[in-house]
Amino acid sequence: MKVTYDPNEGSGAATGRLSYCWADGAVTGNIVARDYEAIEAHGPAAGTSGQGTHDSTHRSRRLAAGFSISRSYAIWISTQVILHFLVITALFEGLFLSQHFIDMFSDHADEVGSLTDALVLVLLTAPEVHFALPVALLTAVYFVVLRCRERRELIVFAGAGLGIRQFSILALLWGVTALLASLLITGIVLPHTRFAFRSDLFAFRNEALAAGGSSGHFYLFPRYTVFKWPTSATGTSSLFIYQTRENDIDRAISVDNATVAKSTGGDALDLRFGDVVVLDIASPQPQADAARSGNANSPGGCSGCSQTDDKMVRLKNYEQAFDLDQLSHLEPRGIEPREWSTMELLGILPPPSASIASKALRKELADRLVRALLAFTAPFLGLWAIGWTTRLTQGFVLPVTCAMVLAIDVVGLIVARALAVSGMPLALAGIGGIFAVILAVALWQIGALQLTLVKPALSKT
């Protein structure tokens, strides 16, 4: 900061012109010589003559006493943090989605009909990377503030009487923003995208079935397991179907010539099977039941089973219109706590389902709170890491701090889930206590390392 004062300038005997250069440019203004204490950090005409203006200036200084960094500089450094955060998050997102895109074809190859369907499903899983928000924010704060330190900007602030407390206030603002973003993603966006993923996967699966399905894959249904053999040279398809039934007699079906087409009468499938072999297989009975029935003969290698007669039926042709809803049914949103919004977990909105145990709901709510508070403390941990960054430690301070964040995440989730079993008040008290201690230690370290935080530690003098 450069300050010059010319007593011969100004509009009065007791006035002069004060010129000072700040981080956001040169600003000049007329002031009363006796009212130097009323100068604003970057006001063009602060403290002009007049008792009303003088009183309002003092009130403004009292309001701004907690945060004295110019607004333009705060906006500039916050913009840099946001840009770095977005870039780092995009890297995490890209790595996650690329791997998930590969898994989508391997795990759901029989349910994804096209590349467009796979892309839609992958994009619906994008909010799952919310667990990377604390690490991304910590890294962004670390790089931006470290660059400010190495460019000696923090020394300028220290020379103007501004300590690291101003950056702690900025870190508080960044942490509150990250906390709200985490609660928004985990509490509103994720529950609905998880249900949308399940709903779209169900729709794509039905489309694939209506098109005849993919060869060489298993299809799993509540009571059926179907395997489609690769299509033969003649263009016919073969199926193997295993059906579980309630009468303890399962059924194995072999189809040599199968065609599947979507019915014109609605959401159903027209099944046409040729050369069908149906084999009823009785479930094994315990040896005690066999002894009571008087049958002491048991198959070889199975001491606890009794001999039963299997029934085989051969059919030449078989046709049936099969409703897709009989094969698999799309459950409504809320069959698991991960699909509940935070408002629904808290009871503010009506619950989407009444079949979920309250213990599971409390665990899900505790998990979301842990992730949000971890995002809140991430900027302070970033400032803490800068205080430990010197020429000797610059290679491992950031990785160690990121590892510490991951460790806090794991420990916090374990403690939160254990306390949530006993009740939500106890879980809230435990989670709040853990993060209060973490925040207190971080602020203590920031104050203890204030000199290292201000002076350049990597640049050559």
Which is more confident, 351 or 284? 351
Of 342, 333, 339, nearest in space to 424 by CA: 342
Q: How many CB atoms lie within 10 A of CB 237?
A: 18
- Dihedral-angle region of residue 272 (phi above 0 means left; psi in -120 to 50 means alpha; beta otherwise): beta
What's the confidence (pLDDT) of residue 409? 93
Per-residue pLDDT reduced to its tens digit, 266-301: 566 677 777 788 888 876 654 445 444 444 444 444
CA distance 28 to 45: 8
- Dihedral-angle region of residue 9 (phi above 0 means left; psi in -120 to 50 means alpha; beta otherwise): beta
CA distance 137 to 144: 11
Q: Which two tokens stand for residue 336?
A: 């698991």
CA distance 176 to 78: 13
Q: Look up residue 451 and give its amino acid.
A: L
Using DSSP's 3-state secondary structure scheme, residue 29 falls into: strand
DSSP state of 163: -
**Is 113 within 8 Å of 208 (Cβ atoms)?**
yes
CA 85 to chain centroid: 14
Q: Which burial class, exposed, middle or buried, applies to 460 when counting CB atoms under 10 A from its CB (0-12, 13-18, 19+)? A: exposed
**pLDDT band for position 243 (cuts 50, 70, 90):** confident
**How large is the average pLDDT for residues 367-374?**
94
What's the confidence (pLDDT) of residue 208? 67
| Cα distances (angstroms) measured from residue 195 to each of 199, 325, 358 | 6, 18, 20
CA distance 54 to 145: 36
Per-residue pLDDT for 181 more than 70?
yes
Per-residue pLDDT for 162 more than 90?
no
Of 142-146, 158-162, 429-433, minimum mean pLDDT range: 158-162
Max mean pLDDT range (109-113, 182-186, 389-393)? 182-186
What's the confidence (pLDDT) of residue 429? 92
- Its pTM stands at 0.71
Per-residue pLDDT reduced to its tens digit, 88-107: 999 999 999 888 888 776 66
The residue assigned the tokens 């039905």 is 206
Per-residue pLDDT reduced to its tens digit, 414-440: 999 999 988 888 999 999 999 999 999
Q: Which two tokens stand for residue 15?
A: 């006035």
Of 197-201, 313-317, 376-380, minimum mean pLDDT range: 313-317
Per-residue pLDDT for 17 more than 50?
no
Per-residue pLDDT reduced to its tens digit, 54-84: 455 544 444 444 556 778 888 999 999 999 9
What's the confidence (pLDDT) of residue 12? 43
**How large is the average pLDDT for residues 324-343?**
82
**How large is the average pLDDT for residues 156-169?**
77
Phi (first) and psi of residue 73, to 5 degrees: -70, -40
What's the confidence (pLDDT) of residue 204? 78
